[in-house]
Amino acid sequence: MSVAVRAAGAADAPAVLALVRALAEYERLEAPDAEAEARFARDGFGPAPRFEVLLAETGGAVVGYALFFFTYSTFLARPTLWLEDLFVQPGSRRLGAGGALLRALAARAVGEGCGRMEWAALTWNRLAIDYYEGLGAGALEEWRTFRLEGRDIARLAGGEPQPAS
């Protein structure tokens, strides 16, 4: 069965959100609530999109997606394509949808003059890590991802002292 990759449009928002919910279940995370889904649709498919989505289809059915945006590397002085999500429905894996999405992303990165593509993988997802390493991607062992959320962002923005660890 062949895989087609195309850019998602506003009419695809419900299908993309269904895939986001499936990804959350797969990653054992809480799915977005109704308010988050509304923000997602606005931020991805509204007048000022913050990200782009590619869809993988087989037999006319959407089976996977890649959500990405661009950051910038100061040292390379080139954009970086950041892949936020890559997900293919479990029943549609091994059909080439993930590879087709990654090839389309690589072509986009080349077209945009990117110096690199980057993404994160959960440490327990050995299947994905092995696949990415097979593509030639390397884990950045010397880098550690940090995150501020909700109240901590507000506290920092307001100049309030951060609690000691």
pTM: 0.89
Q: Is 65 one of the annotated active-site residues of the chain?
A: no
3-state helix, strand, coil in the chain (%, to 5): 40, 25, 35
Identify the three-state secondary structure at position 3. strand
Taking every pair of Cα atoms in the chain, the longest distance, rounded to a whole number of angstroms, is 57
Among 65, 72, 131, 132, the one annotated catalytic: 132
pLDDT in tens, 60-79: 999 999 999 999 999 999 99
pLDDT in tens, 134-145: 999 999 989 888
Fold classification of 3-130 (topology level):
Aminopeptidase (3.40.630)
Domain ranges of the chain: 3-130
**Most confident range, picked from 72-86, 89-103, 125-139:** 72-86
The two three-digit tokens of residue 77, written as one number: 């002085």
For residue 14, pLDDT over 90 is answered with yes
